[in-house]
Structures are given as C-alpha cells and as structure tokens.
Chains A and B, each alone.
Chain A
Amino acid sequence: MARRKKRLQPVMSLMLNSMVDMLTILLVFLLKSFSTQPELNVNMPNLTLPVSSSDRTPEVTASIIVTKDKIVYGDKVIAKLNNWNVENMKEEEFLIPGLYEALTKEAEKQKYFARLRGEEFEGKLTLIADKGMPFLLLKKIMYTAGQAEFALFKFATYKEEKGKGKES
C-alpha cells in the first residue's frame, strides 16, 4: 500500500497573534502604572517609610532624608545618627548645625527665585524619614527647619494598598 505522505508545508509561520495580544495587554498595564508625578528617591539603605492612607501626591520641594544612620540633605550627609541621636550633639540641644546651614542656604535660594517670579516664598519641605524615627529627632529636625524659615512640612509615606478604590 502506497500511502501518500503528506508533505510539510514549506513555509511555516509562527502563530504570533496571541503573543502580540499578550504583549499589548502588558504594555497597556505598564503605561497605566507609568506615573508622571514627581518621584521621590526613596531607594536608600536603612530607609523604610511609614505607611499612610493619604492620597495627596508629593510636590517638588527641598527634601530631607532621615535614614536609620544618617541625615541627608541634597547629596550631602549632614549628620550621622547613633541610635537616633545626632552625633556630636547634646541630647537637649535642638538646633542641628549642619542642617541649619544647608536649609538657610536653600531658603535664601528659594526666596531669590520666588522674588524673580513675583511669588511668595512658601517654605515647603518634604521629609523622607524612616518609620522608626522617634519624635525627639523629628522635633529637632522640625525646629531646625523652622529656624531656617521652612514651616510647611510634607511627610513622605508609602500609600496603603487597602484604601484603594474606596474613594469616590
């Protein structure tokens, strides 16, 4: 019996349609999560932000970063922390000298730009701090910032997942 062998078709085309579908869905999802809001750089060792359910977005302001072992302003380490105490500083002292200097400079700069634009100096400051920071240190930082004329604080927090979709 001569059975005729079916020949393989010479041109094989990959079934790409389903894969394109998948990639499109992925792309749309990623585009959705692509945010245009100003991003805070919180990728630092020893830094875990506290969690809150606030839905207000961060603004572009000067920001102080407080990790478990140091206070950072801009790219500069202002002070080292030892068990949440600022090194080379007495516990009852409130003004953190390095931070005060840096913030005064920043305030002067911002005031100058505000004057050029004809706006008022707002004195906003974002605080990116580890969740374990005690109130004493927070107080010292806020006091120092207050002395440097920054009075509006924005505490950066991780957004709680639970509250999603609740808002109308």
Chain B
Amino acid sequence: MPYVKPSQRIKRKLSGDTELHIVPVMNLFLALIPFMLLAAVFVQISVLDTTLPAVGDASQEEVKKEEEKPRLNLTIAITDEGFYVGGAGGVIAERGKKTTVPRAPDGTYDFDKLASILKKIKAKYPDENDVIVVAEDSIDYQLIVSTMDTIDKNFSSVKYVVENGQKKKVVLHPNISLGASVQ
C-alpha cells in the first residue's frame, strides 16, 4: 500500500443517528416466546401432606410426651350430615356433647364454622398438633381435601423465631392423619 499522508486519508464521519440493529434481537425474542409459552406453567400444583395413623411405632420421646399429659386425639369425621369434631380421652368431652357442624340447608358443607371451631380448640390447646380425619366411604376426594385444607389453615401454630436479629414467622402445620372409618 502506498503511503498516504494523514491529511489526505479518507475520514469517515460518524453519522449522528446510528440506529440500533433491533431486527436480530427481535428474531431471538420471537424464537424464545413460543418456547416459553410452551414451557409456561399456568396451573400451579401444590400438595397437602398426610400420614397414616401411627400404630405402635412411636419413638421413645413421643411415648414420654404421651405420658406427661393426655392427648387430645382431635378427630374430625366427615359424614353425610356434616362434620363431627371430637376428642378422645374425655379432654373436650366435658362440653357434654359432640361438636357437630351440620350441612347447610342447600347441601353444602360449612367450612367457615368448622374453621371457627378449630380456631377455638387451637386457642385452648395450643400445643396440640395432631388431627385425625375420618370419613364415610362415599365422601369424595375434593371434600376430604377441602377439609384438610381448612384444618391446615386454621389449626397451624404460628411461632415467631428470632434469627439474625430478625423476627421470622414459622408456621407449624398440623399433622393430619387419615383414619380408617366411621361407624
């Protein structure tokens, strides 16, 4: 290449209005969007925990606890007529009768009333965390799940734990076991 004086070199002026090349970006986005739409989760799935009622496999600690005070054994029975809320061992039997939440006249189950009863029991026995749910054979799954949900929401203990100087809310979910049957 022959030598060209700097003053004679062609100088390209920077044009004032350079435009961004958006088209390739758009292409990328357009390719991404169908993919994301496919992978997007529109129905969220959650889970409810239950256990089988523990039979004879309680650990030593639990046995000790049991000895210290009578267990409430809170049992909620779902029947055609409504909910029966009961506790074995005469702990809430002093009320004189079983707490019953009958079905509303239009046939729906009264979850609000069940919730308020559960809250009352929780206020009286804050340490109690075990609930047994039993149902009649014909009761459908949605009703069982809704009942468990009500118990979960209204029978959880909320504790505040201080961690690193910050108050932290800890929700202790009740242990719901599904029992065998209703007479």
Contacts and interface: CB of A to CB of B under 8 A. Distances in A.
Interface stretch (A2-10, A35-43, A70-78, A109-117): A35-43
A90 to B, nearest CB: 14
By secondary structure, the B interface counts as: mixed
B33 A58 contact: no
B139 interface: yes
Contacts of A146: 52
Interface in A104-162: 126, 129-136, 138-139, 142, 146, 151-159
B131 interface: no
Contacts of B49: 56, 152-155
By secondary structure, the A interface counts as: mixed
Contact of A58 (B43, B45, B169): B45
B74 interface: no
B45 A17 contact: no
Given A23-B30, A57-B46, A132 B142 contact: yes
Nearest to B149: A52
Contact of B41 (A35, A130, A152): A35
A102 interface: no
B33 to A, nearest CB: 6
Nearest to B49: A154
A50 B42 CA distance: 16
B138 A20 contact: no
Interface in A1-60: 13, 16-17, 19-20, 23-24, 26-27, 30-31, 33-35, 39-40, 42, 49-59
A26 B22 contact: no
B140 interface: yes
Interface in B3-57: 19, 22-23, 25-26, 29-30, 32-33, 36-37, 39-52
A130 B141 contact: yes
Interface residues of B, number: 45
A156 B137 contact: no
A57 to B, nearest CB: 7
A16 B23 contact: yes
B146 to A, nearest CB: 7
B137 A136 contact: yes
Contact of A51 (B19, B142, B169, B181): B142
Nearest to A22: B29
B145 interface: yes
A42 B37 CA distance: 18
Interface string B53-92: 0000000000000000000000000100000000000000
Given A23-B29, A152-B51, A34 B45 contact: no
Q: List the 4 closest A-B pairs by CB distance, nearest first.
A: A30-B36, A136-B137, A159-B44, A131-B142
Given A30-B33, A50-B146, 7 more contacts: A16-B22, A51-B142, A59-B47, A134-B140, A139-B180, A146-B52, A151-B52
Interface of B: 19, 22-23, 25-26, 29-30, 32-33, 36-37, 39-52, 78, 135-142, 144-146, 148-149, 152-153, 169, 178, 180-181
